[in-house]
C-alpha cells in the first residue's frame, strides 16, 4: 500500500471513532515513560508523588499550553515494572496501571482502592477531536470546574469551556466568561482531581445523555491532563495550585467594600458618592470608574468634559481614604490620530487575519483592533500605556470585555495570535486571551508602581488566572435565584484555585427589591470580593438608596466585615501560601457527608475557616440549616448546636444565619472607616470551646507594599488544644511591628471563672459585648427583644501585647 492510499483511507475514516490502540513500543524516561501505537504517541510524566501527567497525540511532537502550568517535574522516586501486558507505575501516593493492549489507564491508592479508570473506549479521536472516556465509580460526585452554574455536584450535566460574553445569563446557562478545566471526583474509596490542560473549546460530560461513562474532550489539540491524588480534597486543591500557581497577597484595601456603577459621571457625582459613604459612616475603600470616564469609550483617555482634572479628582478621593479602579477594555478604536491605534499598527501588536490584515470588530468605541496579548511585545507596550492611568493616581485595574467580546458574538476562527511564537488560531487562543490581558494589566501595574502590590479584577480567564487577578462573575441579574447562584459560582471558583472572587452585589441587570439588596449585602460581607455594581438606566443602587432599614442593615454588615479584616487578611495570606479557598464549599472539609450535596444545603459554605454561612432568600423568615460534624455556635447569641443535624433557624433580614465552628479561633478589630483607618489598638481574639482544637495563623504587614516578601511581616500561630484546654501563643515571626498593642481574649462556651497565665491566675471579667450595636426598631421579631448582633455576658481578659510565646491554662 503506498503512502497516498494510506493517507486517503485515514482521512475517510477520520470522522469515526478511532481508539488509541495497542501500545507497540515504549521506553522509560527520567520522569516516567513514553511510547506509541500504530498511529498515536503517548508520554507519561511523574510531576510529584501525587501528580501524573498523561499526554496522547496523533503527532510525534506534543503540544503544550505555555500559560497555565508553572511547575516542573520533581525528582520523585517511582517504580516502573512490566507484568502481564501491563505497565505498573508506583509512587509513594498512588499506583497507575497502563494496559498495553488498549492504552487504558487505571489509578489506585496504595491500599489498592480504585480511584479512577478509563472506560474500555479509552483515549480516542474523531477527526481532530480528542476524548478521554472514564468509568463512573459507585455514588461518584464531581465538583469544581470553575465558573459553572448549576449544582455543587456536577453529575448528570455537561459543560463547555468557551469564554463567552453573556449579559444577564440564566442561573443554569453555560458557557460563561471563564474556563477552568479542572474538576475533582469524590466517592467512597477516595478523591482525585483531573486538570485537562488544553486551551481549545472543551467539553466535560458528567453523565448527560449517557449512563455508560463520563468524558472530557477538546475539539483539537492533544490530550494533556494531570491526574492528582491526595488523601483529602484540601490537599488536591493545593496540588492543583502548585501546578498552576497561587494568588499574590493583594493590597489590604482590595478586601474592603467597593462601589461601582455603569457609570458614575461627572466627577461631581463621584465626589458625592464617596462623601456619602463617609457621612453615613458606612466603611468603604474603592470607587470604580466604568466606561463613561473615557472619551468616546477609548481606553487610555479621560472625557475632558466629564472629568476635567482626573488627577485632582483622584487626589481628593484619596484624602477621603478611597482608592480608584478604572475599567480597561481591549478594543482599540480604529481611528487615525488615536495614538494607541497608530502605535499598535506600527509595532505590529494587533490580532491579524492570515493574510496580514488587522482584524477588526465592533465594541463600545465602534470598529476596533485587538491587542495580541499572547505576544510579549504587546504586553510590554500595554504596560507602558498604563502610565496614563497611574500618573493620574489610579490604584487598580478592571479588565472587562476580554473574552474577547464583540457585537455579534461570533469571532472568526481563522484570525491568528502570536501564542508566544507558536502561532495559533482563535480556536486555540480564545480561552486564554482574557487571562493574558489580566497578566498584562498586572505586569503593567507592577511596572508603573514597582513598590506596590497590583490589584486587577477580570471577567475572563483560564486555569492559572489566580496568579494575575481577582475574578467576578459578570453581568448577573437582580433576583433571589441569581444571589444564590453567585454563591455557588464563587465557591466553585474556590474549588478551582481562584480564592479571590465575588459577584455584583444587588445584581447588575434589573433592579433589586429592598429586601433582596439587604440580604445580598449581608451575604456578600462574607465573600472574598465585596463589590456592589449596577447598570445604566436603572435606579440608584448604593447601600443608602433603598430606605432607612436597608441602609442600617447594610451598614451593620459592612462594619462587621471591617471588624473581621484581621481574620480575613490572615486568611488571604494563608490562601496565598496554600491555594485553598477563602470561601470554602462544605465539600472541601466534609467531602463524604452526603447531605451537603442536597439542593437545600449546597449553598452553605465556610468563610475564613470559622464561619458557617447559610445563605437564604430575602423572602424567607425561617430556613433549614444543615450543621455538619462538630459543634456549632449561633453567631449572635452563642447558642450551641451539635453537628450532623438539620435545624430550623429564624432568618429575618437583619440576621443572616451564621455559625461559628466549635474549637475555632478568629480575631476582630474596632470600627474603621476604611482599611487604612486608625483602630483602637486592641486585637480581639475569640476562642470557641470544642471537642477538637484548631490553629489560627494571625498575619499582619504594611498592607500595600512588597516588603512582606523580605520578612517584613508579623506572623503568629495561636493554638487551641481541646484536650488540655490550653490556648498557646507561639513566638512571633517577621520584622513588622504589630499594629495592635493589647490582646483582649473572649471565651465562648467555657464555664471557668479563672485562667492561668505564667503561674498567675486571672479572674475572667464579663461584659455585654456587642458586635455592631443595637437595631431594635427594625427587628422583624420585636417580641424576641433581641439587641442587634449582641453576644451577652461574655467572659474575657486583657493583657498587654506579648511577642514571646505564652500559654493560657485552665479553660473548661
Q: How far apart are the first and last CA of the chain?
A: 86
Q: Which pLDDT value is given to residue 772? A: 52
Mean pLDDT for the stretch of residues 26-33: 98
pLDDT tens per residue, range 448-497: 999 999 999 999 999 999 999 999 999 999 999 999 999 999 999 999 99
Maximum CA extent, the chain? 95
Angstrom distance (rounded) from CA 41 to CA 699? 49
Q: Which pLDDT value is given to residue 797? A: 86
Mean pLDDT for the stretch of residues 310-315: 98
Angstrom distance (rounded) from CA 333 to CA 365? 6
- Catalytic status, residue 420: no
Q: Which pLDDT value is given to residue 245? A: 98
Look up cell 487577578; give the residue.
469
Q: Which pLDDT value is given to residue 774? A: 47
Is residue 6's pLDDT more than 70?
no
Burial 457-494 (b: 16+ CB within 10 A, else e): bbbbbbbbbbbbbbbbbbbbbbbbebbbbbbbbbbbbb
Is residue 2's pLDDT more than 60?
no
Angstrom distance (rounded) from CA 443 to CA 437? 10
Task: Please report the DSSP string for 228-269 in residue order.
Answer: E--SSHHHHHHHHHHHH--PPPPPGGGGS-EE--TT--SHHH
Q: What percent of the chain has pLDDT over 90?
A: 90
Beta bridge partners of 131: 124, 217
Please say whether the beta carbons of 404 and 410 come within 8 A: no
Angstrom distance (rounded) from CA 490 to CA 497? 11
102 three-class SS: coil
What totals of helices (H) and strands (E) does the chain contain, helices first?
13, 51
pLDDT tens per residue, range 760-805: 888 889 887 665 544 444 444 444 444 445 666 788 888 888 788 8
Catalytic, out of 395, 400, 480, 609: 400
Please say whether the beta carbons of 443 and 373 come within 8 A: no
Please say whether the beta carbons of 374 and 418 come within 8 A: yes
Q: pTM value?
A: 0.96
Is residue 745's pLDDT more than 80?
yes
State how beta strands 622-627 and 760-763 pair: unpaired
Q: Which pLDDT value is given to residue 804? A: 83
Q: Show the 3-state SS of 420-480.
A: CCCCEEHHHHHHHHHHHHHHHHHHHHHHHCCCECCCEEECCECCCHHHCCEEECCCCECCH
381 three-class SS: helix
Beta bridge partners of 623: 649
- Catalytic status, residue 60: no
665-809 belongs to CATH 2.30.30.90: no
Angstrom distance (rounded) from CA 499 to CA 326? 22
- Picking from 88, 112, 113, the residue whose alpha carbon sits closest to that of residue 100 is 88
pLDDT tens per residue, range 416-449: 999 999 999 999 999 999 999 999 999 999 999 9
Task: Please report the DSSP string for 299-337 in residue order.
Answer: TT---TTT-S-HHHHHHHHHHTT-EEEEEE-S-EE--TT
Look up cell 481562584; give the residue.
498
Angle between helices 376-385 and 339-346 (to 10 degrees): 160
Strands (E), 463-613: 470-472, 501-502, 504-505, 531-532, 583-585, 605-607, 611-613
Mean pLDDT, the chain, integer: 94
Look up cell 503544550; give the residue.
64
pLDDT tens per residue, range 545-573: 999 999 999 999 999 999 999 999 999 99
Is residue 25's pLDDT more than 70?
yes
pLDDT tens per residue, range 237-272: 999 999 999 999 999 999 999 999 999 999 999 999
Catalytic, out of 235, 403, 418, 551: 403
For the purposes of burial, counting CB atoms within 10 Å of the CB of 61, is it exposed (0-12), middle (13-18) or buried (19 or more)? exposed
Cell of 58: 496523533
Q: Which pLDDT value is given to residue 790? A: 60
Q: Which pLDDT value is given to residue 810? A: 78
Please say whether the beta carbons of 517 and 550 come within 8 A: yes
Cell of 25: 513500543
Q: Which pLDDT value is given to residue 760? A: 83
Query: In this structure, how many other beta carbons lie within 10 angstroms of the beta carbon of residue 54?
Result: 22
Please say whether the beta carbons of 284 and 256 come within 8 A: yes
- Picking from 130, 41, 28, the residue whose alpha carbon sits closest to that of residue 80 is 28
Q: Which pLDDT value is given to residue 542? A: 97
- Picking from 582, 566, 603, the residue whose alpha carbon sits closest to that of residue 499 is 582
Q: Which pLDDT value is given to residue 807? A: 86
Is residue 1's pLDDT more than 80?
no
Q: Which pLDDT value is given to residue 768? A: 72
Distances in Å between the alpha carbon of 158 and those of 135, 200, 215, 732?
16, 16, 9, 49
pLDDT tens per residue, range 568-604: 999 999 999 999 999 999 999 999 999 999 999 999 9
12-244 belongs to CATH 2.60.40.1760: yes
Catalytic, out of 118, 360, 475, 704: 475
Q: Which pLDDT value is given to residue 8? A: 36
Angstrom distance (rounded) from CA 98 to CA 85? 9
- Catalytic status, residue 34: no
- Picking from 725, 694, 405, 450, the residue whose alpha carbon sits closest to that of residue 567 is 694
pLDDT tens per residue, range 667-716: 999 999 999 999 999 999 999 999 999 999 999 999 999 999 999 999 99
Task: Please report the DSSP string for 4-67 in residue order.
Answer: HHHHHHHHHHTTS-EE-----EEEE-SSEEEEE-SS-EEEEEEEETTEEEEEEESSSSPP--SS
Listed by start position, the domains of the chain span: 12-244, 665-809
Q: Which pLDDT value is given to residue 10? A: 46
Angstrom distance (rounded) from CA 88 to CA 68? 29
Q: Which residue has the higher pLDDT, 151 or 792?
A: 151
pLDDT tens per residue, range 368-423: 999 999 999 999 999 999 999 999 999 999 999 999 999 999 999 999 999 999 99
Look up cell 443535624; give the residue.
645
Amino acid at each position: 500500500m503506498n503512502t497516498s492510499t494510506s493517507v486517503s483511507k485515514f482521512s475517510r475514516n477520520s470522522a469515526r471513532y478511532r481508539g488509541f490502540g495497542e501500545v507497540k513500543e515504549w521506553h522509560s524516561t527520567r520522569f516516567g515513560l513514553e511510547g506509541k501505537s500504530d498511529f498515536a504517541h503517548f508520554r507519561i510524566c511523574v510531576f510529584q508523588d501525587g501528580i501524573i501527567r498523561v499526554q496522547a497525540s496523533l503527532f510525534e511532537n506534543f503540544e503544550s499550553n505555555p500559560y497555565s502550568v508553572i511547575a516542573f517535574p520533581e525528582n520523585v522516586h517511582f517504580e516502573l515494572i512490566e507484568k502481564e501486558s501491563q505497565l505498573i507505575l508506583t509512587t509513594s501516593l498512588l499506583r497507575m496501571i497502563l494496559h498495553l493492549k488498549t492504552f487504558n489507564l487505571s489509578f489506585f491508592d496504595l491500599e489498592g482502592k480504585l480511584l479512577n479508570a478509563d472506560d474500555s473506549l479509552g483515549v480516542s479521536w474523531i477527526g481532530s477531536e480528542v476524548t478521554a472516556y472514564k468509568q463512573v465509580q459507585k455514588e461518584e460526585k464531581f465538583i469544581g470546574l470553575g465558573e459553572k452554574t448549576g449544582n455543587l455536584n456536577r453529575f448528570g450535566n455537561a459543560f463547555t469551556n468557551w469564554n463567552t460574553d453573556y449579559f444577564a445569563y440564566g442561573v443554569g446557562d453555560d458557557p460563561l466568561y471563564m474556563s477552568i478545566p479542572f474538576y475533582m471526583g469524590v466517592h467512597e474509596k477516595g478523591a482525585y482531581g483531573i486538570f485537562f490542560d488544553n486551551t481549545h473549546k472543551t467539553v466535560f460530560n458528567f453523565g448527560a445523555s449517557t449512563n455508560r461513562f463520563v468524558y472530557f474532550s477538546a475539539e483539537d489539540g492533544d490530550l494533556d491532563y494531570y491526574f492528582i491524588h491526595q488523601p483529602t480534597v484540601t490537599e488536591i486543591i493545593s496540588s492543583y495550585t502548585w501546578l498552576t500557581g497561587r494568588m499574590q497577597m493583594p493590597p489590604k484595601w482590595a478586601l474592603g467594600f467597593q462601589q461601582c456603577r455603569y457609570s458614575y459621571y461627572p466627577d461631581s457625582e463621584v465626589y458625592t458618592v464617596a462623601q456619602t459613604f463617609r457621612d453615613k459612616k458606612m466603611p468603604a475603600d474603592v470607587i470604580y470608574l466604568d466606561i463613561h470616564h473615557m472619551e468616546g469609550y477609548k481606553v487610555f483617555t479621560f472625557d475632558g468634559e466629564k472629568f476635567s482634572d482626573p488627577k485632582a479628582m483622584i487626589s481628593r478621593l484619596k484624602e477621603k481614604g478611597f482608592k480608584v479602579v478604572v475599567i480597561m477594555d481591549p478594543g482599540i478604536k480604529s481611528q487615525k490620530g488615536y495614538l494607541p491605534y497608530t502605535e499598535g499598527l506600527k509595532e505590529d501588536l494587533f490580532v491579524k487575519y492570515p493574510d496580514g490584515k488587522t482584524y477588526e470588530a465592533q465594541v463600545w468605541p465602534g470598529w476596533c483592533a485587538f491587542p495580541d496579548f499572547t505576544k510579549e511585545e504587546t504586553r510590554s507596550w500595554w504596560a507602558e500605556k498604563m502610565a496614563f492611568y497611574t500618573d493620574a493616581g489610579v490604584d487598580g485595574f478592571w479588565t472587562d470585555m476580554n473574552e474577547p467580546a464583540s457585537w455579534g458574538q461570533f469571532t472568526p476562527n481563522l484570525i491568528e495570535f502570536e501564542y508566544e511564537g507558536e502561532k495559533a488560531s482563535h480556536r486555540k487562543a480564545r480561552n486564554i486571551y482574557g487571562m493574558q490581558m489580566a497578566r498584562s494589566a498586572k505586569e503593567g501595574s507592577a511596572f508603573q508602581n514597582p513598590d506596590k502590590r497590583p490589584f486587577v479584577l477580570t471577567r475572563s480567564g483560564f486555569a492559572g488566572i489566580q496568579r494575575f487577578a481577582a475574578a467576578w462573575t459578570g453581568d448577573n441579574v437582580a433576583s433571589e435565584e441569581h444571589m444564590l447562584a453567585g454563591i455557588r459560582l464563587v465557591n466553585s471558583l474556590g474549588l478551582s484555585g481562584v480564592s479571590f472572587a465575588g459577584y455584583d452585589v444587588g445584581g447588575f441587570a434589573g433592579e433589586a427589591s429592598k429586601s433582596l439588596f439587604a440580604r445580598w449585602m449581608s451575604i456578600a460581607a462574607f465573600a472574598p470580593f465585596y463589590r456592589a455594581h449596577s447598570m445604566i438606566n436603572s435606579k440608584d443602587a448604593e447601600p443608602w438608596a433603598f430606605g432607612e432599614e436597608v441602609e442600617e442593615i447594610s451598614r451593620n454588615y459592612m462594619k462587621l466585615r471591617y471588624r473581621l479584616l484581621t481574620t480575613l487578611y490572615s486568611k488571604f495570606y494563608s490562601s496565598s501560601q496554600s491555594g485553598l479557598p477563602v470561601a470554602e464549599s462544605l465539600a472541601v472539609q466534609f467531602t463524604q457527608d452526603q447531605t451537603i450535596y442536597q439542593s437545600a444545603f449546597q449553598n452553605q459554605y465556610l468563610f475564613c475557616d470559622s464561619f458557617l454561612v447559610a445563605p437564604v432568600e430575602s423572602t424567607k423568615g425561617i430556613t433549614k440549616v444543615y450543621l455538619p460534624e462538630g459543634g456549632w455556635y449561633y453567631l449572635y447569641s452563642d447558642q450551641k448546636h451539635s453537628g450532623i443535624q438539620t435545624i430550623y433557624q429564624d432568618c429575618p433580614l437583619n440576621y443572616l444565619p451564621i455559625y461559628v465552628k466549635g474549637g475555632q479561633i478568629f480575631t476582630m478589630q474596632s470600627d474603621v472607616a476604611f482599611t487604612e483607618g486608625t483602630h483602637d489598638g486592641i486585637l480581639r481574639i475569640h476562642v470557641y470551646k470544642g471537642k477538637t482544637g484548631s490553629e489560627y495563623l494571625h498575619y499582619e504587614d504594611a498592607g500595600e507594599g512588597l516588603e512582606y516578601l523580605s520578612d517584613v511581616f508579623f506572623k503568629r500561630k495561636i493554638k487551641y488544644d481541646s484536650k488540655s484546654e490550653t490556648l498557646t501563643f507561639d513566638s512571633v515571626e517577621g520584622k513588622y511591628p504589630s499594629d495592635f498593642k493589647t490582646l483582649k481574649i473572649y471565651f465562648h462556651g467555657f464555664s471557668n471563672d479563672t485562667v492561668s497565665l505564667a503561674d498567675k491566675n486571672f479572674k475572667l471579667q464579663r461584659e455585654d459585648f456587642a458586635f455592631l450595636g443595637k437595631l431594635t426598631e427594625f427587628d422583624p421579631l420585636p417580641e424576641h427583644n433581641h439587641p442587634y448582633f449582641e453576644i451577652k455576658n461574655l467572659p474575657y481578659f486583657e493583657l498587654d501585647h506579648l511577642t514571646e510565646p505564652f500559654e493560657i491554662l485552665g479553660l473548661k
